[in-house]
Structures are given as C-alpha cells and as structure tokens.
Amino acid sequence: MRPSILYPLFAPIDTLTGVGLRYGKLLANLCGNRIVDLLFHLPSGFIDRRCNVPLSQAENGRLWTGKVRVVEHGVPKTRKQPYRIVVEDASDQLTLIFFKTFGDNLSKTFPVGAEKIISGRIEIFNGALQMAHPEYVVDAAHPELMPQIETVYPLTAGVTNKMLNKIMLQAFRNLPDLPEWLDEKYMQKEGFTSFKQSLWLAHHPQNFDDLSPNSPLRRRLAYDELLANQISLAVVRQRLKKQKGRELQGNGNLRNKLRQILPFELTKAQQRVIAEIEADMAAPYKMSRLLQGDVGSGKTIVALLTMLNAIECGTQAAIMAPTEILAQQHYETIAELCEKIGVKAALLTGNIKGKARKQILERLATGEINILIGTHALFTEDVTFKDLAYAIIDEQHRFGVRQRLSLSQKGNLCDVLVMTATPIPRTLVLTMYGDMEYSQIDELPAGRKPVTTTVMPLSKIHDVVAALERKLKTGTQAYWVCPLVEESEKIDLSAATERFESLQKIFGNLVGLVHGKMKESEKNAVMEDFKNGKIKLLVSTTVIEVGVNVPAATIMIIEHAERFGLAQLHQLRGRIKRGQEASNCILMFGYPLSEVARTRLNTMKQTENGFIIAEEDLKLRGGGEVLGTRQSGFGTFKLADLSINGDLLLTAAKDAALILQKDPNLQNERGQALRTLLYLFERDEAIKTYNAG
C-alpha cells in the first residue's frame, strides 16, 4: 500500500478550496486530477514585479510596480469611452485607463486621496504616462499582498495564471516533509537541496537561471524521477533473472552446418551478440533481451543461428514481424537456408487461409515445423506449438507488450528476443527497455559501400527526374517516397498517387505504387514485381520503411524530406544499403525550412551512423516522440527531459544497480525512503514485486 505520508498528495484536485467540479475538470485536462499532478506541473517563466523606480523613470512598454496616491476620476459621458483615474507619486502623474467598467466599482477601489500599490505595463501616449487595466491593485497598508515575482505556467483554455498561482499555494500545504532518499555526498557534490525545497523553489523562481533545466533544483527533481524509473526497471530485471526458464544449449550440429554454407563471414559484432544471446539461453532463467542493429547489420542471421540452438534441443522457435512484407522477407531468407540443412520453416500470415492454414497448424502442433515465421496471426488462439521455447519479435515498438507476452505464453518457459533496426538512443534504451538485457550490433558487414546523400530543393525536381531516367536505363532500380497518400486540405503536399501518375507519363509500366491504404495482397503483388525487376521505380509512402530487401535498388528519392523525423529518414535510406553497389539518397525539401528541419537534413548528409542519428533525433524531438510511448506501464516523464538529463539517467542507472546490490529488498533506512520515492512517482510495481516474493 502507498505510505500514509503520501495520502495528501494523491488527494483529488477538487478537494482544494475554490476548485469546483468545472475547474477541477479543466485542471485535470491541463496536468492531471490529483494534487501531486498539480505540483509536478512546473512553470515556464515568471513576471518580475520588483521594478519600483519613481514614475518619472518608468520606461515605455515595461512593467512598473509602485506606490501611488489617487488624485482624481475622469468619468466618461458614455460607456463607449474609457474611464480614467489620475494617480501620482512624488515624481510624476500616471493615468489609469479602464474600458467597459462600472464607475461605482472603481470609485470604491480607488477613493480620491487613497494610497495604493499598483502593477502593470506602462505606455507613453502624447508624452504622458498611462496604464490600461492594472494587473494588481493592493492597499498600501498591505504591501505583502503584491506578488514580487509571479510564476507563469503553461495553461489551457479556462485556466488563468492568477488562479493557478493561488491554487498552487494551497497544493503546497499538502506536501509533507519526506524522508531523504538521496546519498548525502552526491547531494553536496551536485548542490541539491531537499526534494520539498527544490519543488518549492522550482515553483517560485527568483531569476531565469532557476527556470533552466540545468539549475540544481530542476536537476534534483529530474534525478528523483529518473532514479525511481531505474530502480523499478532494475527490480523487474532482477525478478526476470529469478523466473525459471529452460537451459537451451544445443550440440552445435545445425549451427555448424549453416556456417559452412553461408557465403560470408560473420562480423565480430554478430559473433559477440550471438555469444550473449546463447549465454542467456543456456542460463536457468527466462531470457528477455533487446537486440539493436542498424539497417543491414545482419540481425536475421543472428536470429536464425540462435533459433537453431533451440531446435538442436528438440524445441521450436518463432519469429514475429509487424507486416506481411517483412514476414515474407524473413521467410525467404530463412527458409532457403533451412532447407539446405534439413530444418523445416513455415510462414503464417492473415492471408494464408483454409486448407493451407489448417495444414500449417497441424504440422506445427506435431512438431514437424521447427521455425514458424509470421505476423500478429501467430498469436491467434488456434495456433498451437508442440514445444515453443524461443520467440523473436521484430520491431517491438510496433507491437503492444500484451502481444509480445501472448506469443511467449504459447511456449513453455519461453525465451524472448526483441529485435529493432530503429536507432534508439542509449538513454531511451535505459528507460523504455530497461527491464531487458541489451545487445548491439555496431558493425556493418564488409564490402558495404557508403550511401551518397544529397540535399536539394523541390524546385530542382525536373533535374532529378532527368537523372533518374538515365540511371534506370542502366538497369538500376529506385524508390520514390512521398509523405502522404492523399491531398490534405490543410497541408499542400504532393500525394503519392499524384506523383505516381506524373512519373507514369515518363516511365510507363516501369513505375509501381504502394501505400498503406492498399489491400495487403495488392501491396505484396507490387512488391513482388519490384523485387524481380519487372518494376524499376517504386513510388511509395513510408510502408517501405521497415525491412524491404531489394539489393538492386540503389537510389532513394525522398520528397518533402523536411516532413520526416531523423529516425524515419535513416530507416528509409537503409533500404538502399542492401547490395554491394554504391547508392544515392536524394532528400528533396520544400520551403519554408525550419531550423530543426535544416539540422535534420544536415545530420543525414553528414553521417550514416544510426546511433549518432538517434542521439541527434532525441535532442531535436525530445524523448516522448522518438519511439512513441511504449505500452508497458513505464510512461513518459513529468520532471525529467531525456534530451537534456542524459547524464543524470546514466548516474541513476548506476545508483540503482548499487542500491539493489547492497539492499536487494530495500529494507534499510535509505531503502525505506526509496520505497516512498517509488510510490511518489508511481513506480510501485517494483514494491508489489517485492511483496509477491
């Protein structure tokens, strides 16, 4: 259960005075419906009302705060005219202007002769000082009611800054003194104050440095959230290590046979990764490992060799891909090699129906099929394995975690390997896949030539088409990628269908079209024609982003490249790195070009390294957008920003490992405080894991 010290923080927002049902809903839309959500809604700026120079020194357009005496009222003849009140200090006069306001209210607020402290923006009109609708008016007898610094928050329709500041002060009354969970020496080194004080100062900045994500108080809050994340993931990893698995250690016969017929040598990176996976498979616990490798780094062969290890033990293996095109491609690569060494592989997708499907399911249930390759069709109820011991999921982020689990649950204590060619920054690997072990293929096979990347404006499209015409005559194949399927009323972009029609006038039947709204069978037929060279130019949306393997295609033209993310551009360019020939990628952009888009295109021009590209993508887009939210209960961060706090995350990962090494059950004094931290940031799944033993 959540510690009682945290109960006030998890009370609903509408328990605060002045927050009714309507306002509570608005606040819930803005930040969440509990007091803790409100406190974690950090400010984006502040208004400094400390400028109290004499009126004679007040500057046009600047905020001014000071004590004045009410001199006279200028009552308008009609409501359409402004109401004017003249006030003064010892140095000059100022006219306060009010539109559509009732005079009796103003005469009560500003009685002649009264002293007031006012704050608002100064305007100089015809040489005279004036202020329209002062933002604050307080009696001179109560200067403490004038906020010296007013915090500015991100807002939503219906929520004002003044109201939010008022409610935030109330919310702080619910924040208790919490036990310190950070190491004292680390706090001194970083200049950290307590959690409560850091949160208070974050909401009451005294200068612009306090708003910086690199200020000690913001770093303290970010570190707390990251530490909670890393401890919870480390606990899950610890639990997985205790989950009984199967010791899969084959005799090597099938793997040796395969290595003998491979027309290439495995890279050192592939050999290292295979050793890491096989060590996990041989261990007595269930494997859960992420394999990351750039496009064309040879993940499929790693997958096959490790699947053969399971088959040598008399069990079955499965590989699940996100699209039929990718599943078909895996099947073609794997089945051809399997046939030569006497291993049975089969393909199962949604398109395989009737008698053919029934036969596959029967052969699978009897164990005649050793390796099953397919799409989400693999985890339908009627798919039954004789003995599935090893499951591989390709491009994991395209599946929900439930889907991943439902495939592994078809097996008996099944080992799971997740593969991705999407470049993932190290920080995101730690936070989004921190519950898994991690392997990386950081080397491309020998003989692969670099891609020449050119950036040019769309105005040069005729030059590109002319050059393409010359290239296609030499037997080369090419991709032409468009960002949308149909014309949008809001965004004027060239649609894939329109581009296809214009290119068809030049290249005739040599052009094919593939987009996401086509039926799977139509898409596959066009892809097949492209693979066997019948189609020379494939016009497409990003459906070709993942996995399509056509070694003869060495040209990639991406239209409106400024509309794509870095990881997506990298994936697309990877389609032309499959063969041994030199390839060309042309990134065509439209104006106006934002600074972020310009940086993206320059990064693509300068490097092909997926890991450098991933880090740059994180800086440009922030952590939440790079992969989309992983559906595992480990959501996005409220106080930390991975594009800025990467160093803190690496420290938190080491700290979490050390904490659990010294106090695996979080029982000592610091351990108990850390349990409070886990509940505060709702990473209490880790606590439930402990309680479940």
30-44, 244-258, 311-325, 620-634: least confidently modelled range: 620-634
Q: What is the Cα–Cα distance from 166 to 38, expressed in whole angstroms? A: 12
Contact 503, 511 (CB under 8 A): yes
CB-CB neighbours of 135 under 10 Å: 16
Positive or negative torsion for Cα 188, 192, 197, 201: positive
Q: What is the Cα–Cα distance from 210 to 212, expressed in whole angstroms? A: 6
- Res. 495 pLDDT band, cuts 50 70 90: low
pLDDT of residue 412: 79
pLDDT of residue 8: 94
Residue 547 clears pLDDT 60, i.e. is over it? no
45-49, 478-482, 578-582: least confidently modelled range: 578-582
Residue 422 clears pLDDT 80, i.e. is over it? no
Q: Averaged over 71-100, what is the pLDDT? A: 91
pLDDT of residue 688: 62
pLDDT digits (tens, 9 = 90+) for 304-352: 999 999 999 999 999 998 888 788 889 988 999 999 999 999 999 888 8
Q: Alpha carbon of 192 to those of 40, 187, 188, 641: distances in Å?
A: 18, 5, 6, 18
pLDDT of residue 633: 33
pLDDT of residue 484: 59
Scan for tokens 């108080």, then name that residue: 217
Contact 10, 34 (CB under 8 A): yes
Q: Alpha carbon of 461 to those of 51, 503, 557: distances in Å?
A: 57, 11, 10
Q: What is the Cα–Cα distance from 617 to 568, expressed in whole angstroms? A: 10
Q: Averaged over 360-387, what is the pLDDT? A: 91
Q: What is the Cα–Cα distance from 16 to 29, expressed in whole angstroms? A: 17
Closest alpha carbon to 682 in 32, 238, 155: 32
- Res. 202 pLDDT band, cuts 50 70 90: very high
pLDDT digits (tens, 9 = 90+) for 587-606: 999 888 888 889 999 999 99
Which of 439-448, 452-461, 477-486, 520-529 is modeled with the greatest confidence?
Answer: 452-461
Q: Domain ranges for the chain, please list them.
A: 4-47+152-211, 50-146, 253-441, 451-607
User: ∠93-97-101 over CA atoms, to 5°?
Assistant: 140
Scan for tokens 């400094």, then name that residue: 48
CB-CB neighbours of 204 under 10 Å: 19
Residue 433 clears pLDDT 90, i.e. is over it? no
pLDDT of residue 376: 82
44-58, 72-86, 512-526: least confidently modelled range: 512-526
Contacts of 202 (CB under 8 A, 6+ apart): 42, 43, 210, 217, 218, 221
Report the percent of the chain where pLDDT is more than 90.
Answer: 53
Could you check whether the bond before residue 284 is cis, i.e. omega within 30 degrees of 0?
A: no
Strand partners, 546: none
Query: Which listed CATH number (3.40.50.300, 3.40.30.10, 3.30.9.90, 3.40.50.720) goes with 451-607?
Result: 3.40.50.300
- Res. 548 pLDDT band, cuts 50 70 90: low
Burial class (CB in 10 A: 0-12, 13-18, 19+), 616: buried
pLDDT of residue 347: 95
Amino acid occupying residue 674: L
The number of residues in the chain equals: 693
Q: What is the Cα–Cα distance from 61 to 197, expressed in whole angstroms? A: 35
Alpha helix positions (H), 243-353: 253-261, 268-282, 299-312, 324-341
The backbone torsions φ and ψ at residue 582, rounded to the nearest 5 degrees and listed phi first, read -70, 140
pLDDT digits (tens, 9 = 90+) for 168-200: 999 999 999 999 999 999 999 999 999 999 999
Mean pLDDT, the chain, rounded, equals 87
What is the largest distance, in Å, between two alpha-carbon atoms of the chain? 102
Topology match between the domains 253-441 and 451-607: yes
pLDDT of residue 239: 77
109-118, 495-504, 515-524, 664-673: least confidently modelled range: 515-524
Contact 235, 664 (CB under 8 A): no
Q: Averaged over 285-295, what is the pLDDT? A: 87
pLDDT of residue 390: 95
Residue 242 clears pLDDT 90, i.e. is over it? no
Reported as type and span, the H/E element at residue 393 is strand 388-394
Burial class (CB in 10 A: 0-12, 13-18, 19+), 261: exposed
Contact 86, 93 (CB under 8 A): yes
Q: What is the Cα–Cα distance from 483 to 562, expressed in whole angstroms? A: 10
Reported as type and span, the H/E element at residue 419 is strand 415-420
pLDDT of residue 91: 94
Residue with more model confidence, 235 or 542? 235
Closest alpha carbon to 84 in 139, 127, 132: 132
- Res. 627 pLDDT band, cuts 50 70 90: very low
Closest alpha carbon to 390 in 447, 318, 321: 318
pLDDT of residue 400: 55
| b/e map 417-428, b = 16+ CB within 10 Å | bbbbbbbbbbbb
Query: Which listed CATH number (2.40.110.10, 3.20.20.70, 3.40.50.300, 3.30.70.20) goes with 253-441?
Result: 3.40.50.300
Q: Which CATH class is domain 50-146?
A: mainly beta
Closest alpha carbon to 507 in 542, 543, 540, 466: 466
Q: What is the Cα–Cα distance from 196 to 193, expressed in whole angstroms? A: 8
pLDDT of residue 457: 93
Instruction: Tell me the Cα Rg of the chain.
Output: 32
Scan for tokens 């306060």, then name that residue: 96
The backbone torsions φ and ψ at residue 78, rounded to the nearest 5 degrees and listed phi first, read -130, 160
Q: Averaged over 48-55, what is the pLDDT? A: 86
Residue 90 clears pLDDT 70, i.e. is over it? yes
